[in-house]
Amino acid sequence: MARPRLTTPLARSRAALAASGWVALAVTALPGDSPLRWIPVLAFVGLAPGLALLLPRPAAPRPGAGLELFAFAAPLSLSLATLTATGLFLAAAFSVGAFLGILAGFVTVAALLPGVPLPAAGSGPEEPGPDERPAGTAFRFRERGRDGTG
């Protein structure tokens, strides 16, 4: 049986998102104040859950969709992280390992599912031009008298 290959950019981005949480969980074993520990964890918690929900989409995005994707992914990620941390605190089970493990599992599952459609990222029809408008909807000036009054 042949193994699946990560040949498309979409498959690579999904695999990178799925692996990012487990990498962030693994780097917590490094010494406490090392930047090699907190930078991957901060990047994962701040972006990965939102990107996992929004990024895996089969259609090509419109030009303005990249900025919209990151602008929406960060608050979405932080919201999911807050909900996860709150649930763990209410269950009196909070630890860094449990927090990152739950988020890593969520990101892994979400990276395998299709993304949430965004308005600017859709591939729907563009705004119709002036020649494509239905009859009777074009802008018309009102006629004025010879003295310039309407």
Based on its alpha-carbon atoms, the radius of gyration of the chain, rounded to whole angstroms, reads 24
60: Cβ contacts below 8 Å, ≥ 6 apart: 123
120: Cβ contacts below 8 Å, ≥ 6 apart: 61, 62, 64, 65, 68
> To which residue do tokens 């950019």 refer?
9
What confidence tens digit (pLDDT) does each residue in 48-94 have? 999 888 875 656 666 777 788 888 899 999 999 999 999 999 999 99
- The pTM of the full predicted model, rounded to 2 decimals, is 0.69
List the domain boundaries for the chain: 9-58+66-112
